[in-house]
């Protein structure tokens, strides 16, 4: 959510890039003078991706870095180093990344050649015996820093399994790569992906291991949902306008629904998902962040710590979940076979890598309450699942019905309540539904909708979520990242639910099967009013 300078001066410029290798001298990369995202204020740095041979790097990180480069949004001086156990040469890594990036619409071979001159690769191990090799790696990075004039600035992106976070952070620290210079130059940062532990205990243990070598200002806990443009817009919509905020409370709002539905199944993530399930995968992070943005109080300033303070107040105010009455507040499901987007798909238990008797939930719908003055008594319905009818992420605010209907004798049934919907994906828009007279001689009401497409009247470049995350990591801006107290508060809320669900005697009975391509178990409607 940090400010982003946009240069709207369109133009064309010829650019020439001399082929050179970083082993001799850093190439002079020139960006065409076109509509681009400004790199003003971005310090030179080396971006180190640990786990670079994996899927995340090929699908998300490298395309994001290449797009930033194409928009002129990376620092003038930078280098990108991929690391993993796989043995690859620099050229083999560059070719592998080219295959991944060439699928994008804006791929340009000449520009790729310039970008590729900043790509390097080192094979590393992540076990205790790898300390000496990491120290050698540190020496190599220092030499690369001299070549590319990156000022000793570096950040480490852990694109690896969460179980390896602590080991990787420890090796980075013991190699001296986490140290920062006293004069404020030569910073070092580490970026970790969710999940941050499996429960409260493991989340605290992970945080302690990270802090053995990194200070809090060096740690960036990523939640890519927060980097979505429409998620960032929730705060702008609420606090930059005077229309809705006076109504944003229990006096006028009847209920809030937050939905994150996916059509995809477990895909290639069965090894991770079998250990996580939907509650750890979606609720501890994405759903809680959407909840906090919807329910938080206005911060005094739009600064990272002030915004984080207000989010943690929401988490502290969550009513303890009634684990002794789960069925009234929580519905869990697992997808069976069905049809999604016209294609027959297998049941979760028939997916590769999934146990045939798996009790891992792929769907959850829960009713939660926030015990404070603004939201007392208002239910928040959080729903997320895989293999649902369509991909949809939205926040729906349902207002209370009119206190007295003078039309009751004419229509004979309740008037539909006003509804405000903040569409996050795939339709990035805001809609407001209200009642109006139907044209004609008869007096009839009809619901009508006002739409605001988020991209309306905007023609500049838009950052994808991972592009925004990478830029803010370079800036050192924590606005879109988790703070540890928020992580622990959310785990404190969810851990009792997980413990009860995973240890109760009727676990199999609680897990309801739903047809792939549906909206989940029909029982999910029972927890709605």
Shortest CA distance to 427 belongs to which of 462, 453, 464? 453
Assess contact for 97 and 58: CB atoms under 8 A. Answer: yes
Q: From residue 401, give the alpha-carbon distance in Å to each of 23, 253, 255, 449, 499.
A: 69, 9, 11, 17, 38
- Taking the C-alpha atoms of residue 467 and residue 290, their distance in angstroms, rounded to an integer, is 20
> What span, in angstroms and rounded, lies between the C-alpha atoms of 264 and 260?
12
Cβ–Cβ under 8 Å, residues 374 and 297 = yes
Contact 375, 256 (CB under 8 A): no
Question: CB pairs under 8 A, 24+ apart, for 478-481?
Answer: 478/217, 478/220, 478/304, 478/305, 478/308, 479/1, 479/2, 479/303, 479/304, 479/307, 480/1, 480/2, 480/223, 480/226, 480/227, 480/232, 481/220, 481/221, 481/222, 481/223, 481/226
Residues with Cβ < 8 Å from 8, sequence gap 6 or more? 35, 460
For residue 428 the two structure tokens come to 């990035």
How far is Cα 501 from Cα 361, in angstroms, rounded to an integer?
10
Which position has the token pair 């309740």? Answer: 414
Q: How far is CA 495 from CA 199, 350, 433, 480, in A?
A: 6, 28, 37, 24
Q: Select which of 90, 286, 404, 459 is catalytic.
A: 286
Q: What b/e readout covers 181-194, taking b as 16+ CB neighbours within 10 angstroms?
A: eeeeeebbbbbbbb
Residue given tokens 């290639």 in the structure block: 268
Residue (of 215, 202, 351, 368) closest to 294 by Cα position: 368
Residue 148 catalytic? no
Note whether 39 and 147 are within 8 A (CB): no
Is there a contact between 221 and 179 (Cβ–Cβ < 8 Å)? no
Question: Helix H segments across 149-228?
Answer: 165-174, 200-211
Distance (Å) of CA 501 to CA 261, 343, 347, 356 = 22, 32, 21, 19
Question: Using alpha carbons only, what angle is made at residue 155 by residues 154 and 159, rounded to the nearest 5 degrees?
Answer: 145
Residue (of 294, 311, 241, 230) closest to 1 by Cα position? 230
Other CB atoms closer than 10 Å to residue 10's CB: what's the count? 10
CB 31 within 8 A of CB 72: yes
Which are the contacts of 466, defined by CB distance < 8 A and separation ≥ 6?
A: 60, 61, 64, 224, 227
Just list the catalytic residues.
286
């Amino acid at each position: 959510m940090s400010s982003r300078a946009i240069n709207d001066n369109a133009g064309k410029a010829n650019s020439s890039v001399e082929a050179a290798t970083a082993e001799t001298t850093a190439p002079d990369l020139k960006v065409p003078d076109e509509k681009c995202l400004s790199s003003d204020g971005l310090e030179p740095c080396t971006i180190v991706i640990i786990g670079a041979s994996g899927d995340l790097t090929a699908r998300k990180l490298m395309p994001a870095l290449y797009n930033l480069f194409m928009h002129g949004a990376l620092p003038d001086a930078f280098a990108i180093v991929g690391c993993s156990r796989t043995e690859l040469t620099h050229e083999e890594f560059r070719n592998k990344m080219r295959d991944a990036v060439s699928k994008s619409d804006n791929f340009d071979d000449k520009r790729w050649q310039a970008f590729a001159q900043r790509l390097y690769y080192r094979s590393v191990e992540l076990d205790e015996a790898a300390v000496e090799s990491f120290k050698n790696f540190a020496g190599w990075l220092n030499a690369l820093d001299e070549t590319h004039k990156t000022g000793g600035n570096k950040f480490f992106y852990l694109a690896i399994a969460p179980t390896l976070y602590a080991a990787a952070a420890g090796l980075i620290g013991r190699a001296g790569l986490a140290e920062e210079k006293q004069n404020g130059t030569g910073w070092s940062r580490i970026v970790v992906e969710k999940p941050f532990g499996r429960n409260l205990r493991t989340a605290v243990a992970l945080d302690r291991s990270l802090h053995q070598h990194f200070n809090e200002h060096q740690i960036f806990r990523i939640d890519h949902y927060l980097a979505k443009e429409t998620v960032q817009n929730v705060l702008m919509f609420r606090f930059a306008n005077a229309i809705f905020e006076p109504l944003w409370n229990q006096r006028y709002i009847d209920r809030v629904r937050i939905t994150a539905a996916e059509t995809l199944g477990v895909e290639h993530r069965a090894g991770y998902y079998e250990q996580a399930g939907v509650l750890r995968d979606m609720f501890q992070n994405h759903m809680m962040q959407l909840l906090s943005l919807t329910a938080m109080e206005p911060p005094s300033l739009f600064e990272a710590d002030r915004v984080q303070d207000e989010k943690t107040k929401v988490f502290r105010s969550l009513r303890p979940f009634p684990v002794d009455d789960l069925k009234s507040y929580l519905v869990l499901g697992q997808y069976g076979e069905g049809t999604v987007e016209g294609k027959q798909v297998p049941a979760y238990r028939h997916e590769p890598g999934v146990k045939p008797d798996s009790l891992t939930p792929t769907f959850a719908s829960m009713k939660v309450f926030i015990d404070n003055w603004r939201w007392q008594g208002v239910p928040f319905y959080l729903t997320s699942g895989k293999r649902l009818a369509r991909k949809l992420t939205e926040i729906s605010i349902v207002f209370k019905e009119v206190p007295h209907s003078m039309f009751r004798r004419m229509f004979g049934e309740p008037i539909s309540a006003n509804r405000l919907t903040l569409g996050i994906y795939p339709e990035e828009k805001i809609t407001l539904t209200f009642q109006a007279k139907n044209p004609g001689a008869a007096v009839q009401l009809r619901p009508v909708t006002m739409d605001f497409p988020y991209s309306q009247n905007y023609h500049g470049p838009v950052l994808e979520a991972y592009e925004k995350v990478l830029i803010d990591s370079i800036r050192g801006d924590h606005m879109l990242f988790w703070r540890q107290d928020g992580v622990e508060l959310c785990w404190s809320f969810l851990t009792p639910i997980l413990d009860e669900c995973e240890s109760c005697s009727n676990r199999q009975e609680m897990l309801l099967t739903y047809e792939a391509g549906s909206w989940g178990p029909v029982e999910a409607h029972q927890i709605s009013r």
